[in-house]
Amino acid sequence: MENSETNTNHKTKVSDKAKAQITTPSLFKVLMHNDDYTTMEFVVEVLQEIFRKPSADAERIMLTIHFQGVGYCGTFPHAIAETKASRARLKARKAGFPLRCTLEEA
pLDDT at residue 100, as a whole number: 98
- Can you give the pTM of this predicted structure? 0.78
Nearest-5° angle of CA 96, CA 101, CA 106? 170
Q: Is 65 exposed, middle or buried (0-12, 13-18, 19+ CB in 10 A)?
A: buried
Arithmetic mean of pLDDT over the chain: 90
pLDDT class for 22, splitting at 50, 70, 90?
confident
pLDDT at residue 45, as a whole number: 98
- The mean per-residue pLDDT over the stretch 25-48 comes to 98
Q: Where are the domains of the chain?
A: 33-105
| 89, pLDDT greater than 60 | yes
pLDDT at residue 21, as a whole number: 75
* The CATH number, out of the four listed (3.40.50.800, 3.30.1390.10, 3.30.1200.10, 3.40.1650.10), of the domain defined by the range 33-105: 3.30.1390.10
